[in-house]
Structure 1
């Protein structure tokens, strides 16, 4: 499929999911809630002022952050207009929500101390473009906290990416690829970012921290 076809599938999928995304009837999307505690714990390690949530959906992570750190400034971006529409109903102060493409982040250079991306990255057909954009918008010493799906075995990843995901796409989902450590390291190297840590946590969970070095 083309990048546009993947993105159109994602928009169609999450337009349908927007109204139930944070409800008890969210189905498979409930698994995303397992990422939030680890992201919150990572954020506690360093002070920050401006945070960008890539693939923010209806804003569940931003809601938690806004309650815990109400004095910070938050921005959420998502490709699906319906997701942003639902997020805006929360009327969170100092939270900017926009419809946009995470592979082409529409923000000025050095805008954010932290970028987070939870269970969204596997929908991006041009992952290097995303990493390049993250590098541009992060401030020096800023970091990307990335949560997504993974499996350790390269053979299992190949089977997942070449057999299971095409079937998922036929079912109407815009999943592109799951990644291993070497994949993420290559994307970091290509963008000028430094991978500080990469772990597999729990069931098929990638937890990665990436840094923009101070020159």
Structure 2
């Protein structure tokens, strides 16, 4: 059983190990999601990148080894798991920091990414301000998280909330998110929901994965699988695997070049 928590840091200082185990057991399950946040970006040798919050550093597997990637994380448990299992001795470092005070120098980053972690942060404005400061003129920020009116958000704050002893309440993307980005100074802001799949060998495996991923400690994997089928749905993929329907809202924002 988990203690009540309402911030990213507090939540994952309790259950990052279960989330991390899901990523270790099925490292390619969210392949489409990781590729989606990188879609359309020009990434070459030496591109200076931020991943915040980085969790266990999973995005690095989808990037060229010769980029300059800095993982930023607020959870001490995620940072410890990163050192132990993912990138011990990696050329891509991880720094513990708060989201309102990033360790990067001004104008030092080409691309900043944030995948599926910001719904645990109620006030995103300080982070957006900090990312804007860190990006070079012409730099790009790409965010991806559930939209407030999506089936993803309803599942997380509905069924998962009921079956996780910590509960689950997110502050999801909506019109205010783009307004906050504009307030930070970003322009050329584009937001769109994208549908894709998390892929597994079976629906039960999807249930096992999500049970770990979302800290579901009040239901068995078979119960989770049934809820996924009912709330989100499965498709049979071309390669024969099972695809769990998933959707995030992807937002691209630019720091003006001049």
TM-score by length of 2: 0.66
RMSD, matched Cα: 3.2
Q: Is the 8 A contact 1:72 1:94 kept in 2?
A: no
1:60-139 pair list within 5 angstroms: 60-65=58-63, 69-89=64-84, 90-91=87-88, 93-139=90-136
**Correspondences of 1:174-189 after superposition (within 5 Å):** 175-180=169-174, 182-189=175-182
Structure with greater proportional helix content: 1
Q: Which runs of 5+ in 1 are unaligned?
A: none
Distance 2:97 2:169 in 1: 18
Partners of 1:47 and 1:207 lie apart in 2 by 25
Say how many residue pairs are matched: 201
Partner of 1:204: 247
Runs of 4+ in structure 1 deviating by more than 3 angstroms, as ranges, are: 12-16, 30-34, 44-48, 163-171, 173-176
| Matches of 1:7 and 1:22, distance apart in 2 | 18
Alpha-carbon distance between aligned partners in 1 of 2:54 and 2:65, rounded to the nearest angstrom? 18
1:152 Cα deviation (Å)?
5.0
| Rg larger for | 2
In the alignment, what sits opposite 2:23?
22
* 8 Å Cα contact 2:145/2:250 also seen in 1: yes
1:36-58 superposed Cα distances (whole Å, 9 cap, x missing partner): 11123232478861100001111
**Conserved in 2, the CA contact under 8 Å of 1:185 and 1:195?**
no
Q: Say whether residues 1:9 and 2:7 are aligned partners.
A: no
1:213 counterpart SS class: coil
The TM-score, its normalising length taken from structure 1, stands at 0.78
Q: 3-state SS of the aligned residue for 1:103?
A: coil
Structure 2 unmatched runs, 5+? 196-245
Establish whether residue 149 from structure 1 lines up as the match of residue 192 from structure 2: no
Question: In the alignment, is the contact (CA less than 8 A) between 2:113 and 2:141 conserved in 1?
Answer: yes
Instruction: Say whether the 8 Å CA contact 2:46–2:68 is kept in structure 1.
Output: no
